[in-house]
Structure 1
Amino acid sequence: MTSTDIPRLSVRSPGDLIAAVPYLLGFHPADSVVVVAMRGKRVTFAARSDLSDLAGPVDAGRPAAGAGGPVEPARHVAAVVARQLADRATVLGYGTASRVTPAVDAVCAALAEAGIPVLDALRVTDGRYWSYLCDEPECCPPDGRPYDARASEITAAAVFAGQVALPDRDALVAQVAPVEGTERTGLRLATERALRRRADLVDAAPAADLLGGRALRAASRAAIRVALRRYRRSERIDDDEVAWLSLLLTDLTVRDHAWERTDGRDADIALWTDVLRRAEPEFIAAPGALLAFAAWRAGHGALAAVALERVLTVHPDYSLALLLDDLLRRGVPPSRLDGWPAVRLSGLARRRGKGRRGTR
């Protein structure tokens, strides 16, 4: 689910909308249903679901269509769109008619049930589109209407504005995939050095500094400060710095310190993407969740989603990732949480002060 935050594009036809969708999502959809929601004349939101979730074969343990098969996922999509205060929507299905039609029908029915008028419902494949709501051969011929997204003014305007549409979702997943080969070997060695460095720091701490807590907090703040500064100068941190930072972030107070300083800036997205890709698997939870937060704040819901998928595959109980995953699935727009996480963390600090010190 993606809240759109792109420059205003003048969509005057179904072909224009089809050209705009990849820039709303960040990649070209396939085997998908996309709902483009509008408020007034402005596109405000785009939600995408896999056809397999909406109209695929019934999985073992999943109810058949008549008992909630594609209906429940469709209702979820409609509820997410309604949460954006949308007053109209267009539904686009990408794929063959046999798979797209039941999915589009289910989504359109769910939107109607939610009180959201459907302007049009389209099937898109192989450079053509068909309308489910128009049967006039002059505008909607039986063999479909051709379109060329590359020749669209929408595409030109999006590219000029710096928007990127990756070839498919797999290309987006690759952006957060772990580095491999000799680079991975170097990072494993750097992680071993980071573990020894932490042990040495704790051992060298004075007796008054219980378990080296103050020394570790000071080192953590310095590491975060250096990393943020470096990426805001379009520089990178080296392997030892990645390993050290990812290790320090396993402390939730350190993670929260980084979280308070993370926004939707390109530099923040670049930092946490880099650390997520380079950190060892046991240390990806915090950088992956911080990337998801930064991407979500910037309106890049698809990037946030793939970052969370990677985290939750390895760390299924990581609370911040679960929280952000829930926000994305419910389509909560970033504007609803302006000032977060500072507001949330200050509230947590007040509650801690009233209760036991050090609890979480």
Structure 2
Amino acid sequence: MTSTTTNTGTDGRITVRISDPGELIAAVPHLLTYRPGPSVVLLNHGGRERMITPVIRADLPDETCEPDMAGDLVRAVLRHPGAGVTVVIIGRHPGHRAPPGRLPHDGLARRLTSTFGNAGRPVDHALWVPEIRGGARWRCYHERCLRGVLPDDRETVLAATMATSGQVTYGSREEMARLLDPDDPAAITRRQHMLDEAIDNGLMRPVAANKTQQTTAASSAPDSRGEAEPADFIAVRGAPPGSSGEAKPTGHAAMDGAAPDWFGEAQSAEHLAVVRAALARAVAGDFDLSDEDVVSLAMALSDLTVRDRCLTTADPPGEPPSTAAERLWLELVRRTPMPERAEPAVLLGYSAYRRGDGVLAALAFDNALAAHPGHRLAELLRICLSHQLPPDTLRRLSDCQEGGLMPT
């Protein structure tokens, strides 16, 4: 019997249908975009044709923390519509000892199954596997005791489909994080000197906003205290996989909740031209950025009215233009000194979040906060991610901006 089939829709999207639990476990690295270590992974089957969205992963907890984690994970999933859930537990927490005759973390699996059931979202499968690799034996926590052997996850239909679409599955979360590492420390230092010189020459001097705008913006920002570190969150799409004194507070003031860096209209127009030219080159496949290009773009994105307009480049998510823009933000993250690096990092995170890649989004927001601690937009988006807000709910951030940055 064929357990995996594919279908190409009229919009060109490929749908992969998986019916075998072992192949569903093997799909987890591709759905997460990296191979997880010891984890609990929840696959929410919802929407049309039981598409998997979202996928939520967390490190396995200590046994004493299992009740709280189970409640948090269930609440996160229930924010999304769905008809059922698959629970996949990978490996075991260090020091965990399963009782005789029981699978590791049996209590966590049972608690998740019971809590989801009470909420009207049944658990279709609760599965355990020591690690995700070809040949590993998986078991089912349910009494029917399904079991089997994992296929090589690199050779499945889903793996081939993802590779064909250009999506990469990384060996670990750490390997994925290295995507954002600076490309050349000497070049970063050289560009830092160039930026310092530009600031000294007054090329980045903002026009001061009036005190009323600053106070209004700061008081309207949500309180970010008491937020927990989020688990990895993936919303899978498709396959189961400028102004001066009278400025309106729509840029830095509205989104970052701090004293805004207003630039004059002429400066902002120049910055927009720099960004448009870079986006046009990116759409054409040209990501070869000179030191001067990086510095000019860092200066342009420091104009936060321009930065906020760049949020519009994330739409439509996953399409070639927005993918090119996201690649440009990634290149700038790797090439831009701190603290200016925070702006392309938050744009990268927003784009990744909008297309459902919560792992990359979290890495990018963390990068932005490391480059600029207290960066308000990064903090707010990180909170949205920690609450697993669906990506579509963020669209209002770009909808309220004037677009027209991408080439036509």
Bucket of the pairwise TM-score, normalised by the shorter protein? 0.7 to 0.9
Q: Tell me, what secondary structure is at the counterpart of 1:92?
A: strand
What residue number does 1:77 align with? 73
Structure 2: 5+ residue runs without aligned partners?
Answer: 1-12, 98-103, 207-243, 246-261, 403-408
Residue 304 of structure 1 pairs with residue 311 of structure 2: no
What residue number does 2:350 align with? 293
Percentage identity across aligned positions? 29
What residue number does 1:276 align with? 333
CA distance in 2, matches of 1:158, 1:262: 21
The residue identity in structure 1 corresponding to 2:54 is F
CA distance in 1, matches of 2:108, 2:293: 48
Pick aligned residue for 1:159 from 163, 169, 172: 163
Q: Tell me, what secondary structure is at the counterpart of 1:341?
A: helix
Call closer, same or farther: CA 1:172–1:202 in 2, change over 3 Å.
Answer: closer
User: How many angstroms does 1:253 deviate by?
Assistant: 1.6
1:320-347 Cα distance to aligned partner (Å, 9 max, x none) = 1122212222222223344x3343348x
Q: Tell me, what secondary structure is at the counterpart of 2:17?
A: coil
What residue number does 1:173 align with? 177
What residue number does 1:217 align with? 268
Structure 1: 5+ residue runs without aligned partners?
Answer: 1-5, 58-64, 204-208, 347-360
Pick aligned residue for 1:120 from 119, 125, 150: 125
User: How many angstroms does 1:278 deviate by?
Assistant: 1.4
Q: Are the equivalent residues in 2 in contact too, given 1:178–1:278 (CA < 8 A)?
A: yes
Q: Mapping of 1:258-277 within 5 angstroms?
A: 258-263=310-315, 264=317, 265-277=322-334
User: How many angstroms does 1:30 deviate by?
Assistant: 1.0
Q: Are the equivalent residues in 1 in contact too, given 2:338–2:372 (CA < 8 A)?
A: no
What residue number does 2:87 align with? 91
Q: Mapping of 1:18-57 within 5 angstroms?
A: 18-39=25-46, 40-51=49-60, 55-56=61-62
Q: Tell me, what secondary structure is at the counterpart of 2:128?
A: strand
Residue 254 of structure 1 pairs with residue 310 of structure 2: no
User: How many angstroms does 1:314 deviate by?
Assistant: 3.9
User: How many angstroms does 1:94 deviate by?
Assistant: 1.4
CA distance in 2, matches of 1:200, 1:285: 19
User: How many angstroms does 1:172 deviate by?
Assistant: 1.2
**Structure with the higher helix share, 1 or 2:** 1
In angstroms, what is the RMSD of aligned CA positions? 2.7
Residue 10 of structure 1 pairs with residue 17 of structure 2: yes
CA distance in 2, matches of 1:184, 1:330: 34
When normalised by structure 2's length, the TM-score is 0.70
CA distance in 2, matches of 1:302, 1:293: 12
Call closer, same or farther: CA 1:316–1:56 in 2, change over 3 Å.
Answer: farther
1:85-140 Cα distance to aligned partner (Å, 9 max, x none) = 0110001111137375154444434433433211111112242212111454xx43
Instruction: Point out the more displaced range, 95-104 or 296-305.
Output: 95-104
CA distance in 1, matches of 2:205, 2:369: 30
The residue identity in structure 1 corresponding to 2:62 is G
The residue identity in structure 2 corresponding to 1:90 is T
Structure 1 residue ranges (4+ consecutive) displaced by more than 4 angstroms after TM superposition: 200-203, 209-212
CA distance in 2, matches of 1:313, 1:88: 38
What residue number does 1:243 align with? 295
Q: Tell me, what secondary structure is at the counterpart of 2:87?
A: strand
When normalised by structure 1's length, the TM-score is 0.78
CA distance in 1, matches of 2:297, 2:174: 28
